[in-house]
Amino acid sequence: MRPAGFAAAGAISAGVTGVLVGTAAGSLSGNRMAPWIVGRAAGLSAYLLLVALVLLGLVLSHPWRSRWRRPSSATRIRGHVVLAVLVLALTVLHVVVLATDRFAGVGWWGAALPMRASYRPVPVTLGVVGAWAGLLAGVTAALAGHLPARAWWPIHKVAAVALVLAWLHGVLAGGDTYALRWIYVGTGLIVAVVALSRYAARTAGEPVEGLHR
């Protein structure tokens, strides 16, 4: 994507994040649990957008993608980039808010390194590793135009690992209500079905093409 495209995606993500933060701050003003609520809301939003990001990535690499004329391949790729930027923005918000909340039991070390949080260290660690894996996937995608596919595409597939870790993080650290549990079950099943379709449709003679096409 051109620099103007990245600027537009960044502006959109900043605007959406600003609206979310502003709305939450206004409704939770004076509430000691406000940072915790905002952090969890940002985390859940980031997870849902990550699901959409991975689903769109599966569509982009699906052997049947040429059958789907709308939206165009260029539009799908632009949407993929915008979703990635939004996921990054909301993940940063999630991490920063909980790392700075003295009641959350996470802290900066817990938000950046495995097993350093006092609050549910294993589920938080899954989220930390998932965030770093997602960042790696994003960096490889940004380098797609400068490196051959054989160099960046296998590494980019770590996005699937990031989603699995984010799912486990959400279920174990944030799936404490009936509604949230069903959100995680439902999204997990949707991704599993689409992923199965993507790989079952691949024939032995078909190459796996990446986002560079």
Residue-wise pLDDT tens digits, 142-178: 887 787 877 788 888 888 899 999 999 999 987 778 8
Q: What's the token pair of residue 84?
A: 């990635």
CA-to-CA separations, 67 to 1, 114, 191, in angstroms, rounded: 24, 43, 20
Distance from the Cα of residue 213 to its chain's centroid = 23
Tell me how far apart the alpha carbons of residues 123 and 163 are, in angstroms, rounded to a whole number: 14
Please identify every stretch of the chain with a pLDDT value under 50, giving residue numbers as ranges: 1, 3, 6, 203-213
Biggest distance spanned by C-alpha atoms of the chain: 62
pLDDT value of residue 171: 93
Tell me how far apart the alpha carbons of residues 90 and 46 are, in angstroms, rounded to a whole number: 5
Tell me how far apart the alpha carbons of residues 143 and 116 are, in angstroms, rounded to a whole number: 32
- Nearest CA among 35, 14, 32, 13 for reference residue 24: 35
pLDDT value of residue 207: 47
Look at residue 211 and tell me if it is in a domain: no
Q: Which amino acid is at 62?
A: H
| pTM confidence score | 0.78
Cis ω for the linkage preceding 207 (within 30 of 0): no
Tell me how far apart the alpha carbons of residues 149 and 203 are, in angstroms, rounded to a whole number: 20
Q: Which residues lie below 8 Å from residue 55, measured CB to CB, with a gap of 6+?
A: 190, 191, 194
Look at residue 34 and tell me if it is in a domain: yes
pLDDT value of residue 31: 65
Look at residue 205 and tell me if it is in a domain: no
Look at residue 117 and tell me if it is in a domain: yes
DSSP assigned state of 67: G
Look at residue 209 and tell me if it is in a domain: no
Q: Which amino acid is at 34?
A: A
Look at residue 77 and tell me if it is in a domain: yes
pLDDT value of residue 107: 92
Q: What's the token pair of residue 25?
A: 């701050």
If one counts the domains in the chain, the total is 1
pLDDT value of residue 210: 46
Look at residue 212 and tell me if it is in a domain: no
Look at residue 207 and tell me if it is in a domain: no
- Host domain of residue 101: 3-200
CA-to-CA separations, 95 to 47, 55, 73, 78, 120, in angstroms, rounded: 13, 24, 33, 26, 15
Tell me how far apart the alpha carbons of residues 104 and 119 are, in angstroms, rounded to a whole number: 7
Tell me how far apart the alpha carbons of residues 86 and 126 are, in angstroms, rounded to a whole number: 21
pLDDT value of residue 149: 77
Tell me how far apart the alpha carbons of residues 125 and 138 are, in angstroms, rounded to a whole number: 20
